[in-house]
Amino acid sequence: MSVRKLKPITPGQRFRVVNGFDAITADKPEKSLLAPLKKSGGRNSQGKMTIRQKGGGHKRRYRVIDFKRDKQDVLATVKTIEYDPNRTAFIALLEYADGEKRYVIAQNGLQVDQQVSAGSTVAPEIGNALPLSEIPLGTIISCIELRPGQGAVMARSAGTFAQLMAKDGKFVTVKMPSGETRLILSGCMATIGAISNSDHQLLVSGKAGRSRWLGRRPRTRPVAMNPVDHPMGGGEGRASGGHPRSRNGIPAKGFRTRSKTKSTNKYIIERRKK
């Protein structure tokens, strides 16, 4: 894992920091695991814009990822570590003993030709997926399910990880990447190790054009708008704009938006830090 700072031979490269891609071992994806990916441009089924600052961007194809790890007690060999344009983490191509190929999210330290497996009887080693009840306390985990059989939904982006803190009956206590401590059913699957590409947060795009390649359109500052367009708009001259809030009036910077009556509040032991 490394990053490279480019020599500024063009203005867009002056502050550019790129990924070294040391871990990547293949430049072509597995064709059988590709699917088309349609762009919406932020429009809904009626053609109306429901999300702003979306549109354009380079054409992508979706890599079908196995988030469930439901092929259990079958050894798989890591064939390649690949870049995925649809996520910040790298992905690994697994080839199972019966010849089937699947993509999974790659963990930090996962190597080509390494053997991984999933199931309740496998060893708690990097890349292996186990039920939370079978993982030793204090282990660094990622790709965590919230409901058994649902597939991984937590700790999936580059460099993230959670930690198994305690076990109590049918629940385990997990400290999440946000700092939140919560209860999760012990039958849920999780993968051992932190997610790959931990240097992702160090990257610097260097120019506005790279945001356009990623499908992000320019964003107008709220204080530059008129009062009809935003609560922070209007005022004589360069007015500061009042209290920071969203376009529909919800305060920003510390205002808690989680519902007090949400049914899953009872599973949260400690809220995430502000």
CATH number at residue 238: 4.10.950.10
Q: Are residues 113 and 48 in the same domain?
A: yes
Q: Are residues 255 and 194 in the same domain?
A: no
Q: What percent of the chain has pLDDT over 70?
A: 99
Q: Are residues 186 and 248 in the same domain?
A: no
Neighbours of 209 (CB within 10 A): 10
Mean local confidence (pLDDT), 24-43: 96
Q: Are residues 150 and 233 in the same domain?
A: no
Quick one: pLDDT at residue 239? 87
User: What's this model's pTM, rounded to 2 decimal places?
Assistant: 0.93
Of the residues 201, 216, 241, the one at which a domain ends: 201
Quick one: pLDDT at residue 273? 79
- The span from the CA of 33 to the CA of 103, in Å, is 8
- The span from the CA of 2 to the CA of 18, in Å, is 9
Q: What is the mean pLDDT of the chain?
A: 95
Helix (H, G, I), strand (E, B) or coil at 89: coil
Is residue 211 domain-resident? no
Q: Are residues 37 and 155 in the same domain?
A: yes
Q: Are residues 131 and 10 in the same domain?
A: yes
- Show Cβ contacts of residue 95 under 8 Å, excluding neighbours closer than 6 positions: 76, 77, 79, 101
Give residue 132's domain range: 3-201
Is residue 8 domain-resident? yes
Mean local confidence (pLDDT), 29-45: 96
Task: Give per-residue pLDDT as tens, 142-165.
Answer: 999 999 999 999 999 999 999 999
- The span from the CA of 72 to the CA of 3, in Å, is 36
Task: Give per-residue pLDDT as tens, 43-71.
Answer: 999 999 999 999 999 999 999 999 999 99
Q: Compute the CA torsion angle 157, 160, 166, 167 (nearest 10 deg).
A: 20
Q: Which residues of 129-143 are buried (b: 16+ CB within 10 A; e: fewer)?
A: bbbbeebeeebbbbb
Q: What is the CATH number of the domain that holds 101?
A: 2.40.50.140
- The span from the CA of 67 to the CA of 70, in Å, is 9
Task: Give per-residue pLDDT as tens, 104-127.
Answer: 999 999 999 999 999 999 999 999
Question: Phi and psi dihedrals of 265, rounded to 5?
Answer: -60, -30
Q: Where are the beta strands (DSSP E) in 12-138?
A: 17-19, 34-36, 61-63, 76-82, 91-96, 101-105, 115-116, 129-131
Is residue 97 domain-resident? yes
Task: Give per-residue pLDDT as tens, 225-253.
Answer: 999 999 999 999 988 888 999 999 999 99
Q: Are residues 190 and 243 in the same domain?
A: no
Q: Are residues 164 and 236 in the same domain?
A: no
For residue 5, pLDDT over 70 is answered with yes
Q: Which residues of 212-242 are buried (b: 16+ CB within 10 A; e: fewer)?
A: eeebbeeeeebbebeeeebbbbeeeeeeebe
SS3 content of the chain, % helix, strand, coil (to 5): 10, 25, 60
Q: Are residues 77 and 137 in the same domain?
A: yes
Q: Are residues 88 and 151 in the same domain?
A: yes
Q: Are residues 178 and 244 in the same domain?
A: no
Question: Phi and psi dihedrals of 70, rounded to 5?
Answer: -95, 0
If one counts the domains in the chain, the total is 2
Give the confidence band of 136 by pLDDT, cuts at 50, 70, 90. Answer: very high
The vertex-217 CA angle with 213 and 222, nearest 5°, equals 150
Is residue 11 domain-resident? yes
DSSP string, 185-204: ETTSEEEES-BS-GGGGG-B
Is residue 23 domain-resident? yes
Quick one: pLDDT at residue 240? 85
For residue 1, pLDDT over 80 is answered with no
- Fill in the amino acid letter for 44: N
For residue 274, pLDDT over 70 is answered with no
Mean local confidence (pLDDT), 173-187: 97
Of the residues 183, 201, 219, the one at which a domain ends: 201
Could you tell me if residue 137 is left (phi over 0), alpha (psi between -120 and 50 degrees) or otherwise beta? Answer: beta
Quick one: pLDDT at residue 62? 98
Is residue 217 domain-resident? no
Q: Are residues 174 and 239 in the same domain?
A: no
Mean local confidence (pLDDT), 190-209: 96
Q: Which residue has tokens 């009062």? A: 227
Mean local confidence (pLDDT), 69-98: 97
